[in-house]
Structure 1
Amino acid sequence: MLAKGSEPLRAPHLRFQQQAAEAGTLHCLVLDCSGSMLKRRNLTLAKGLLLRWSEQVYRQRGELMVIGFAAGQARLLCKPQKARSSNHAWIDAIGGGGGSPVAAALELAERTLARERRNARGKRIGLWLLSDGRFDPLPARPPSADFCVVVDFENASVPLGRAAQIARSWGAECVPAKNLLTR
C-alpha cells in the first residue's frame, strides 16, 4: 500500500552512488639502527618485532613503510606499499651502528607521509618510532601522522626516559619493547 501522494518506485528514482573504497592504513615504522641499539641486542629485538608486525599488516591488507636511521643518515628501507607476505630478506639485511639522526628520519617520514596523504585522501596513517631514545634534542611529532606510538627499547642501568618524554610531547602511547614480546 502506498502512502497518499507517493508514487511507485521507478528506475529514475534510483541513483548509483559509488562508495569510496576504504583507504586503509599505512603503518610507517621509524627504526633506530644506531650503535646504542646494537648494544644489549635491541636492534635484533626491533628487527624481530618488525618481522612480526609486517606479517600482521600483510594479513590486515594494510600498507607498510620503514625508515632506518643511523650513522648520520636516514634512509627508506621499505617504500610505502601494500605489505608483502615475505619480509625476511630485507629485514635480515638491516645493519646498524653510529649516531642517531632522528630529526633526519622524521623529516624523511613527514615528506613521504605528506605525499601519501595527498595521493590517497582518507588513508589512515600511523607512525611507530622504535628507539632507545639516546639522542638529543627530542624530535617534534610529524604532523601527517594520524596517530603515533613510541616503542621504548631503553634498558640501560641508568635510564634517560626519553621515549616516554617523546610520547608525552607527541600525545602518543609509549610501549616498552619488552611488553611486546608476550603479545
Structure 2
Amino acid sequence: MNTSAGRSQTAPRAVLFDRDGTIVVDVPYNGDPELVRPMPGARAVLDGLRSRGIPVGVVTNQSGIARGFVTREQVDAVNARVEELLGPFDVWEVCPHGVADGCACRKPGPGMVLSASARLGVDPSDVAVVGDIGADMGAAAAAGARGVLVPTDITLEEEILSAPVVARDLAHAVESLWGTQ
C-alpha cells in the first residue's frame, strides 16, 4: 500500500480526468472538434485503466458556454471528438457556468466529482482526480477524493507546491495511484 499524508491508501476504484491540458491539448474555449489533439500518452493510459476494469471519466469546467464563446452543442461536439480519439468514458461531467455564477459544480468545488462518483456507484474516497491546475486538486480535496497534478506550462508554481501528488506525465500520474512509481 502506498501512504500519503499519513494515511493508508488503496488503489482507486475510478479515475476522473480534467479535459483541457490533461487528456487533450488546451485550446481555450474550443468549439471546433478538428482542433482536438490528445496529450502524449493519453490513449495508452486510458486504455490501460479500461483493461483493468477501472472506470474513467471526465470532469471539465467549460465557462465559455456562460461567457457566450461556445455553445453547449459545440462543447458536446468537442467531447464527442475526444471520445473518438481517446475511447469511451464511463461518465462526463461538464460545468457550463462562469466563475461568478456561484454553482456547486464548478471546480474547485466538489460538485462534478461527487456527481461522477455517484453515477459510477463509487465512494468519492475511492476516486482519483488527475488534472493540470489547482482547481482540479481543490475539487478532489473538497470531494474527499485523491488528487494528482500533472503540471503544464500554465500550472502555477504555488499549485505545484501545494498539490498532494505531482506527476511528470499521465502515465506517471496513474502509476503513482498504484504505488509503482
Q: Give TM-score scaled by structure 1 length.
A: 0.47
Q: Give TM-score scaled by structure 2 length.
A: 0.47
Larger Rg: 1 or 2?
1
The structure with the largest helix share of the pair is: 2
